[in-house]
Amino acid sequence: MKPLDPRLLRYSRSSRGFLLLSVLIALCGAALSIAQAYLLTSLITELFQKSRRIEDMAPTLRFLVAIFLGKALIGYLSNFLSSRFSTRIKSELREGLINKVIGGESDALHRLGPAELSLLISRGINNLDGYFSKFIPQLFIASIIPITVGFAITLQDWKSGIIVMCTIPLIPLFGILIGRFTATATQKKMETLGLLSGYFLDLLSGLPTLKVYNRSKLQTKKLGEIGDQYRKETMKVLRVSFLSSLALELVATLSVALLAVSIGIRLVNGSMTLTSGLIVLILAPEVYWPIRQVAAYFHAAEDGVSVSNQIFDILDSKPVNGVEVISDVKAITWSELTVSYPNRSTITIPPGQLTAGKIHALVGPSGSGESTLISILLGFTQISNGEIIISTSQGDVSFDRIEKNHWRSLLSWMPQDPHFASTTVGEIVGHNESALDDVSLDIADLPHGMDTHIGALQDAISAGQKRKLALARAFAKPSALLILDEPTASVDDVSEEEINRTLEREAKSGRIVLVASHRPTTIASADAMTLIKLAAR
């Protein structure tokens, strides 16, 4: 990410006011710093050169106190406003990211996975707090104060101005050189954290199976190895950050020392007045300190900066979305499809066709592309090569030309791992008890019947009942295309037979039925001519 990415202004309205206030605060800080230097110089020279009494300098002291209070107020306002605006900006980015993913305008969920995406939306955006609350305000301070103060120094003593101009580029130069190592180390750390999150999520999802086969304890070692790798990557970042702080502090100290030695020599030989020397000495730290601080704050915000490109890339994504609206679907035909992901092998899906009135079984080993094909048909994943044709009563239409939100209104989908918002069983199926009968879910088995509440951390229904409920919801929605991912998993044999009969009925009603399953009985219910086999990779 650039020090100030222009995409931030596009995706966060609050950032515009925040940047304007940062500029105003930096200008006020520069003016107060220069005024403070002149007043301190005036006070010192009046007291020591002209032997004036302290009582006679009361107006100057009052102005100095006012300046000190003003600088303290500016510091407080800067911290307060940056914290407030940081919260707003993060909320706007998080809302935009969630809307982009949920609205199907980005394939980030399928490209990154739920664990890494949730890490990006939660901790990734939260790590931007240091970037917005500290780095951005300090960036404007470092851009305005050194130039303004350096100009004031040059007006007092052009030789000191030359020293400032020659030494000040050293700080950003060293910062950039060391920052490259920091960026690489931080990126590796975030990648390791994403790997750890994904592995932990998979471990939690498969924990019941691991316990059944007594394999859960073996995962402790693997989890420890990934955690230890994350610890090592974090320590690398800290080592580089400490090295950067030491180098920048050394450069700033030597630069101020060089100015002080030059001023001291010229004061001794009488080629420089005490007034000019004091002003330059007082202002000199104000030139180097803001740049030194912006480098330090950049390291503090590096965790957030390292993921900001991912955030903006997702917000920038513009999926292929047509404008055509169709009223029905007779068939779906596709050529060989390929889907490419970064740092992953390409997924190839063989040609196939779905026709109305038939049950189509999608079978293949895990990782062969079942979920990818379903995601493509849902409009969430873009294909790299290939073509999909939708046949309607009005003719054939390319899938790319169809408006995706309207397309999704024509289909029903049951995911492999269904989840529900906090609601009741009745609200999910529209209080249609016959929908529960179609999936062999007896309302008497529910603790509170149609008023049974689900969606909490501890649901009152079993995994099999939850799957049946999701299936009933899919059956109840009027649609042309019915996509079901493992509809008969976690159910008994009697329920499976009832669900298969319902699938046959839905197909005879004119629906296109696509079932991804590993259950032999469910696969056998599909017509032999509609079996879509995916090869292992």
The DSSP line for 293-343 is HHHHHHHHTHHHHHHHHHHHHHHH-------B--S--SEEEE--EEE--TT
pLDDT of the residue at 179: 61
Q: Is the pLDDT of residue 76 over 70?
A: yes
Residues of the chain above pLDDT 90, percent: 2
What is the distance in angstroms between the CA of the first residue and the CA of the last residue of the chain? Answer: 36
Q: Are 35 and 152 in contact (CB under 8 A)?
A: no
Token digits of residue 122? 């939660």
DSSP symbol at 494:
H
DSSP symbol at 69:
H
DSSP symbol at 124:
I
Q: Is the pLDDT of residue 293 over 60?
A: yes
pLDDT of the residue at 347: 82
Helix (H, G, I), strand (E, B) or coil at 453: strand
pLDDT digits (tens, 9 = 90+) for 477-536: 888 899 988 887 777 778 878 888 888 888 888 889 888 877 776 666 665 434 455 544
Helix (H, G, I), strand (E, B) or coil at 157: coil
Query: What residues does 397 pair with on adjacent strands?
Result: 390
Per-residue b or e along 321-359, where b marks 16 or more CB atoms closer than 10 Å to that residue's CB: eeeeebeebbbbbbeebebeeeeeeebbbeebebbbebb
Inter-axis angle of helices 170-205 and 302-316, to 10 degrees? 70
Token digits of residue 187? 């990126």
pLDDT digits (tens, 9 = 90+) for 216-250: 676 777 777 777 777 777 777 667 667 666 777 77
pLDDT digits (tens, 9 = 90+) for 162-212: 888 888 777 777 666 666 666 666 666 666 666 666 666 666 666 666 666
Range 54-59 average pLDDT? 78
pLDDT digits (tens, 9 = 90+) for 136-165: 777 777 778 888 888 888 888 888 888 888
The amino acid at 416: Q
Torsion of CA 425, 429, 431, 433, to 10 degrees: -90
Q: Residue 306's pLDDT band (boundaries 50, 70, 90)? A: low
pLDDT of the residue at 417: 79
Other beta carbons within 10 angstroms of residue 371's beta carbon come to 18
pLDDT of the residue at 89: 84
For strands 347-349 and 512-516, give the pairing: unpaired
Q: Is the pLDDT of residue 396 over 70?
A: yes
pLDDT of the residue at 193: 65
Q: Are 512 and 328 in contact (CB under 8 A)?
A: no
State the Cα–Cα distance between residues 13 and 363, nearest whole angstrom: 48
DSSP 379-429: T-S--SB--EEEEETTEEEEGGGB-HHHHHHTEEEE-SS----SEEHHHHT
pLDDT of the residue at 94: 85
Q: Which residue has the higher pLDDT, 70 or 176?
A: 70
The amino acid at 162: I
Range 112-129 average pLDDT? 75
DSSP symbol at 533:
E
3-state secondary structure 185-239: HHHHHHHHHHHHHHHHHHHHHCHHHHHHCCCCCHHHHHHHHHHHHHHHHHHHHHH
Other beta carbons within 10 angstroms of residue 516's beta carbon come to 23
CA 58 to chain centre: 55
Q: Is the pLDDT of residue 261 over 70?
A: yes
Per-residue b or e along 178-190, where b marks 16 or more CB atoms closer than 10 Å to that residue's CB: bbebbbebbbbbb
Q: Residue 25's pLDDT band (boundaries 50, 70, 90)? A: confident
Contacts of 142 (CB under 8 A, 6+ apart): 290, 291, 293, 294
Phi-psi label, residue 385: left if phi above 0, alpha if psi -120 to 50, beta otherwise: beta
3-state secondary structure 332-374: EEECCEEECCCCCCCEEECCEEEECCCEEEEECCCCCCHHHHH
State the Cα–Cα distance between residues 151 and 42, nearest whole angstrom: 19
Q: Is the pLDDT of residue 359 over 50?
A: yes
Query: What residues does 533 pair with on adjacent strands?
Result: 363
Q: Is the pLDDT of residue 415 over 80?
A: yes
Side-chain-side CA neighbours of residue 136 (13 Å): 31
State the Cα–Cα distance between residues 203 and 117, nearest whole angstrom: 17
State the Cα–Cα distance between residues 480 and 327, nearest whole angstrom: 9
Q: Are 141 and 290 in contact (CB under 8 A)?
A: yes
pLDDT of the residue at 528: 43
Share the mean pLDDT of the chain: 78
Token digits of residue 267? 């004061």
State the Cα–Cα distance between residues 368 and 216, nearest whole angstrom: 26
pLDDT of the residue at 361: 83
State the Cα–Cα distance between residues 498 and 496, nearest whole angstrom: 5
Q: Is the pLDDT of residue 457 over 60?
A: no
Phi-psi label, residue 386: left if phi above 0, alpha if psi -120 to 50, beta otherwise: left
pLDDT of the residue at 195: 64
